[in-house]
C-alpha cells in the first residue's frame, strides 16, 4: 500500500550511526566526552602511532548485545572485525576498524505506528544488521561552518582526533520504507529504542545519532532503482525535507531521460537541496580484510542471558503490558511508551485516578500539546501526575465538564492554585473560576425554556426532522450557563422538552 509520487514508488533504506555511550573509546582508554579542546582526548592508539594495538572495549560489545535483544535480532556467537581501507586526513591509520562479513547483530525488526490519512497503521521495517565500528577524527577548516578557529586566519585546515576511535553501532535496514513519512517515523522509533535502553544519548546536534538515507524510485512492480545516499541527516525535519527533495529530483531526471548515477549526496538546509558529494564507492574499493590485530569477537549465550536479565522493560513489552493491565488500545500504549518519563507519568496518573483511558487521552492530548508548544519535556511539566489525576477525578465525578476541565488545566499549568499536590489545587481553581457544573435541574430547565423561547425557528426545524437544528439550541444554553451546564444533561432535558 505504498503511496505513489507522480506514478513512482519510493524506496528507502537507512544506515544509522549511533554513538555508544561508553566512557572510553572502542579500542583505547581515551575518554569520549564531547566538546573538549582539540586533540586532548586522543591517545597513541587513536593517533595510530606505530606499535600500538587496539583492545576491545567490553562496554561497547555489551551495548551492541542490548540493541540486538531490543529489536529481536540474532546476536552472533562469533563476529569478525575488518579493516575498511581508505585515505583521508582525519583517519591516520589509513583504515577504519569495522565489521564487514560477519556483524555482531543480524536481522531483527523495528515497528511503529504511522498516520496515513485518517487511519493509523502499523509498519514494520526489517533490519539487515548492526555492526560495531570506530568513528574517524574531524577535519576543521578555518572559517568553515564549524566555526573552528585554528592558526592565524589564513584559511588553514587542521585535524582534531578527539572523535577518532569513538564507538559506533551502524544500524542498517532492508530497503523497506516507502515514503519520507515512513522513513522519519522509523528514525524516531529507532531513536526511542537506543535512548530507552541507554546505549546512546541520542543527541542529534552533537552527532550522536546520524542517519544516512538511501533513496531510489521505480515504477510499481519494477526492479529496484539505482539509489543515491543522503549522508549525515541530523534532524528529523531535515530528513523529511531532504528525502522529499531527492525523490522529486530523481523523478525529474528519469522523466527527462537521464539515468540515475549511484552517488553520495549532501543536504543543504539553506537551499533545501541535495547535491552530489562523490560517486559512490563499492565495497571492493575499500579492500576489506579481517583485522589481524583483533581476535574474533566471541559472545557466549550465558553472556547474552546475563545482559538480558539486567535490561529494563523494553518499550514494546511495556506497551503490551499497558494494553493488558489498563485495557488501552494498542495505539495509545505505543504513544505512551515514547519515553520512560512519559510512561511513568501515565502510570502514576492512571493509578491515582483509576481511569487509564481518560489519563491516556489527557496525556496524548492537552498535556503533550502544551508541552510541545512550550518546548518542554514531560519531566518539566508544570502539571504533575497527581494534579492531572485529581483533575480527571473531578471530571468523572461530574463536578466539572470537559470544557471546564481544560480551564482548570490551564490554571494548574499557570500555577494559579495554592501550592500543594493534587486535589487541593484542583478544587481551589474550580472554586476560584466558578467552574462547578450546574447540578440543579431547576435552574438549568429555566435556561432551556428561555433559549427555546428565543429561538422558535430552531425548535420548529427540529420538530420537522432536522436534527442539526439542535446545535443552534445547545450552544446558547451552554453559553447562558457560562459553560457550567452538563452537556449530557442539557441534551437529555432538551430532547424531553422537544418530545
Ligand atoms: P553499501 O554496502 O554500499 O552501503 P548496502 O547493500 O549495505 O550498500 O545497502 C545500504 C543501504 O541501502 C541499506 O539500508 C539498504 O536497504 C539500502 N538500499 C539498497 N538498495 C537500495 C535501493 N535500490 N533503494 C533504496 N535503498 C537501497
Ligand atoms: Mg553500508
pLDDT digits (tens, 9 = 90+) for 479-493: 888 777 878 888 888
How far away, in angstroms, is 13 Cα from ligand 1 center? Answer: 6
Sorting pLDDT into bands at 50, 70 and 90, what band is 152?
low
Grid cell listed for 56: 576491545
Express each pLDDT in 30-68 by its tens digit. Answer: 999 888 999 999 999 999 999 999 999 999 999 999 999
Sorting pLDDT into bands at 50, 70 and 90, what band is 206?
very high
Higher-confidence residue: 35 or 294? 294
Q: Which residue has the cell 493488558?
A: 324
Give dist(CA 218, CA 223) in Å, integer: 7
CB 448 within 8 A of CB 494: yes
Grid cell listed for 119: 487511519
> What is the number of the ligand 1 atom nearest to the C-alpha of 174?
16
Task: Check whether 422 has a pLDDT greater than 80.
Answer: no
The answer to whether the Cα torsion of 320, 323, 325, 326 is positive or negative is positive
Q: Which residues contact 303 (CB under 8 A, 6 or more apart)?
A: 65
The answer to whether the Cα torsion of 100, 101, 103, 108 is positive or negative is positive
Task: Check whether 151 has a pLDDT greater than 70.
Answer: no
Pocket test for ligand 1, best of 96, 175, 231, 280 (most atoms within 8 A of CB): 175
Output DSSP code: residue 131.
E
* Location of each CATH 1.10.10.410 domain in the chain: 441-498
> What is the number of the ligand 1 atom nearest to the C-alpha of 282?
3
Task: Check whether 466 has a pLDDT greater than 90.
Answer: no
Task: Check whether 379 has a pLDDT greater than 90.
Answer: yes
Sorting pLDDT into bands at 50, 70 and 90, what band is 144?
very low
Chain-centroid distance of CA 217 in Å reads 25
How far away, in angstroms, is 245 Cα from ligand 2 center? Answer: 22
CA distances (Å), 88 to each of 15, 96, 138, 413, in order? 21, 10, 10, 53
What is residue 328's predicted lDDT score, i.e. its pLDDT?
Answer: 96
Give dist(CA 412, CA 60) in Å, integer: 44
Helix (H, G, I), strand (E, B) or coil at 108: coil
What's the average model confidence in pLDDT over 60-88?
Answer: 97
- Would you state the CATH architecture of domain 441-498? Orthogonal Bundle (1.10)
Task: Check whether 402 has a pLDDT greater than 90.
Answer: no
> What is the number of the ligand 1 atom nearest to the C-alpha of 280?
3
How far away, in angstroms, is 49 Cα from ligand 1 center? Answer: 34
CA atoms within 13 Å, Cβ hemisphere of 23: 1
Output the ligand 1 site: residues, CB below 6 A. 11-15, 172-175, 214-216, 224-225, 227, 283
What is residue 281's predicted lDDT score, i.e. its pLDDT?
Answer: 67
Grid cell listed for 187: 528514525
Please provide the average confidence, as pLDDT, over all residues in the chain. Answer: 92
Pocket test for ligand 1, best of 15, 171, 174, 212 (most atoms within 8 A of CB): 15
What is residue 420's predicted lDDT score, i.e. its pLDDT?
Answer: 62
What's the average model confidence in pLDDT over 292-312?
Answer: 97
How far away, in angstroms, is 15 Cα from ligand 2 center? Answer: 7
Give dist(CA 400, CA 386) in Å, integer: 18
Higher-confidence residue: 391 or 421? 391
Give dist(CA 351, CA 353) in Å, integer: 6
Amino acid at each position: 500500500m505504498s503511496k505513489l509520487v507522480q506514478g513512482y514508488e519510493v524506496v528507502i533504506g537507512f544506515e544509522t550511526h549511533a554513538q555508544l555511550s561508553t566512557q572510553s573509546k572502542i579500542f583505547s582508554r581515551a575518554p569520549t566526552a564531547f566538546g573538549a579542546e582539540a586533540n586532548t582526548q586522543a591517545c597513541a592508539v587513536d593517533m595510530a602511532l606505530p606499535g600500538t594495538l587496539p583492545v576491545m572495549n567490553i562496554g561497547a560489545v555489551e551495548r551492541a548485545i542490548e540493541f540486538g535483544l531490543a529489536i529481536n535480532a540474532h546476536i552472533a556467537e562469533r563476529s569478525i572485525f575488518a579493516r575498511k581501507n581508505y585515505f583521508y586526513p582525519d583517519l591516520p591509520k589509513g583504515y577504519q576498524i569495522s565489521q564487514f562479513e560477519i556483524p555482531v547483530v543480524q536481522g531483527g525488526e523495528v515497528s511503529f505506528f504511522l498516520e496515513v490519512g485518517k487511519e493509523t497503521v502499523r509498519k514494520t521495517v526489517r533490519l539487515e544488521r548492526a555492526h560495531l565500528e570506530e568513528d574517524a577524527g574531524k577535519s576543521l577548516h578555518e572559517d568553515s561552518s564549524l566555526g573552528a578557529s585554528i592558526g592565524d586566519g589564513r584559511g588553514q585546515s587542521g585535524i582534531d582526533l578527539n572523535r577518532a576511535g569513538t564507538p559506533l553501532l551502524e544500524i542498517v535496514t532492508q530497503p523497506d520504507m516507502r515514503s519520507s513519512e515512513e522513513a522519519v517515523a522509523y528514525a524516531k522509533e529507532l531513536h526511542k529504542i537506543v535512548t530507552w535502553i541507554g546505549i546512546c544519548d541520542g543527541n542529534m546536534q552533537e552527532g550522536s545519532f546520524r542517519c544516512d538515507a538511501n533513496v531510489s524510485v521505480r515504477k510499481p512492480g519494477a526492479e529496484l532503482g539505482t539509489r543515491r545516499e543522503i549522508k549525515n541527516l541530523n534532524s528529523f525535519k531535515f530528513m523529511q525535507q531532504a528525502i522529499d527533495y531527492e525523490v522529486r529530483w530523481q523523478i525529474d531526471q528519469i522523466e527527462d531521460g537521464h539515468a540515475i548515477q549511484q552517488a553520495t549526496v549532501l543536504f543543504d538546509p539553506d537551499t533545501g537541496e541535495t547535491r552530489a558529494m562523490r560517486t559512490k564507492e563499492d565495497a571492493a574499493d575499500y579492500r576489506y580484510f579481517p583485522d589481524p590485530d583483533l581476535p574474533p569477537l566471541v559472545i557466549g549465550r550465558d553472556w547474552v542471558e546475563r545482559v538480558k536479565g539486567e535490561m529494563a522493560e523494553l518499550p514494546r513489552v511495556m506497551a503490551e503490558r499497558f494494553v493488558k493491565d489498563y485495557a488501552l488500545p494498542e495505539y495509545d500504549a505505543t504513544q505512551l511508551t515514547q519515553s520512560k518519563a512519559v510512561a511513568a507519568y501515565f502510570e502514576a496518573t492512571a493509578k491515582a485516578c483509576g481511569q487509564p483511558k481518560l489519563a491516556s487521552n489527557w496525556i496524548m492530548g492537552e498535556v503533550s500539546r502544551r508541552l510541545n508548544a512550550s518546548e518542554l519535556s514531560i519531566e518539566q511539566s508544570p502539571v504533575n501526575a497527581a494534579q492531572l489525576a485529581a483533575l480527571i477525578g473531578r471530571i468523572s465525578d461530574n463536578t466539572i465538564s470537559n470544557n471546564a476541565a481544560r480551564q482548570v488545566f490551564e490554571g494548574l499549568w499557570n500555577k494559579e492554585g495554592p501550592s500543594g499536590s493534587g486535589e487541593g489545587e484542583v478544587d481551589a481553581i474550580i472554586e476560584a473560576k466558578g467552574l462547578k457544573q450546574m447540578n440543579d435541574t431547576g435552574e438549568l430547565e429555566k435556561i432551556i425554556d428561555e433559549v427555546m423561547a428565543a429561538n422558535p425557528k430552531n425548535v420548529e426545524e427540529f420538530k420537522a426532522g432536522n436534527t442539526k437544528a439542535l446545535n443552534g439550541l445547545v450552544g446558547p444554553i451552554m453559553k447562558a450557563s457560562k459553560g457550567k451546564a452538563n452537556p449530557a444533561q442539557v441534551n437529555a432535558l432538551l430532547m424531553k422538552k422537544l418530545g
